[in-house]
Amino acid sequence: MVTTTSYRLWDLVDELCGHRFVDLTHAFRPGIPHSPDFTDEVRTVVNDFARDGFRSHRFDLVGQWGTHVDAPIHCAPGGRAVDDIAVAEMIAPLVVLDVTDRVTADPDFVMSADDVWAWEERHGPIPPRAFAALRTGWSGRWPDPAATANEDATGVRHTPGWSVEALRFLCEARDIVACGHDTGDTDPGALVTGGKCPAETYILATGRYQIEFMTNLEQVPPTGAIIVASFPKPAQASGFPARVFAIAPQ
């Protein structure tokens, strides 16, 4: 007679499946918001059912497309590429820093170190190896490119972002494993419009990765959830579309 053996990791799967799974990923397609430096996605059918009995597609797109990972080499020469990111870095405690009220009042809002400290006063210290996600509410503008860019008449983008000081505190004092945000840039749009990206350069130069264009962060509590940030393994790539999700308490 075969007896059932208990395995701790298998039991853990059953435990996790009793919680909420929240997809933090936008589906990508041609025409979605993207950097003006990038061309649009081109998707073609290579094989189809009528001719071949199966379907396959060819995708022509930049690595930084849709919800995507940026590896350190994206901004740091000699930094780690996508295939250098260890799978152990892809699962982490998730903290969500919600600044939607601030952004509603000021779309140029920049997350400061003081704002992080204020968040910790309400929710407690950010644990080591956490993934810090900035929720600005900007994902509600998806998939409208004009609303996402939020440019004024002079072409300046008005979008929120991180400050270098906030990321430095998270990296040096809290030792986060990575950061993410629901905007398309780490830095506020006014800086990006001028060709500057100090916060993105900083975080990637530390050897950490980031996830951009996240969504559904409003469905995740400030603390208590975990994140799984997964992506393919293209050799020496600077970025690639990602599939990211949270496992949150019921």
Q: What is the 3-state secondary structure (H, E, C) of 158-203?
A: CCCEECHHHHHHHHHHCCCCEEEECCCCCCCHHHHHCCCCHHHHHH
User: Residue 180 belongs to a domain with what CATH number?
Assistant: 3.50.30.50
* Count of structural domains, the chain: 1
% of the chain at pLDDT higher than 70: 98
pLDDT digits (tens, 9 = 90+) for 131-166: 999 999 999 999 999 999 999 999 999 999 999 999
Per-residue confidence (pLDDT) for residue 3, from 0 to 100 = 64
Residue 224 domain flag: yes
Beta bridge partners of 66: none
Per-residue confidence (pLDDT) for residue 1, from 0 to 100 = 60
235 pLDDT more than 90:
yes
Range of the domain at 79: 11-27+62-248
Per-residue confidence (pLDDT) for residue 86, from 0 to 100 = 98
115 pLDDT more than 90:
yes
- Do residues 64 and 239 make contact, with C-beta atoms less than 8 angstroms apart? yes
∠ CA 103-247-228, nearest 5°, is: 85
Within the chain, strands assigned E span 20-23, 42-47, 56-60, 68-70, 91-98, 110-111, 131-135, 161-162, 178-181, 209-212, 225-230, 239-241, 243-248
Residue 196: HSE in the Cβ half-sphere, 13 Å Cα cutoff: 11
CA distance 160 to 162: 7
Per-residue confidence (pLDDT) for residue 6, from 0 to 100 = 76
Residue 94 domain flag: yes
% of the chain at pLDDT higher than 90: 97
Residue 16 domain flag: yes
Pairing assessment for the beta strands 209-212 and 68-70 based on DSSP bridges:
antiparallel
pLDDT digits (tens, 9 = 90+) for 216-234: 999 999 999 999 999 999 9
- From edge to edge, which strands make up the β-sheet containing 91-98? 20-23, 243-248, 225-230, 91-98, 131-135, 178-181, 209-212, 68-70, 239-241
pLDDT digits (tens, 9 = 90+) for 48-81: 999 999 999 999 999 999 999 999 999 999 999 9
Residue 220 domain flag: yes
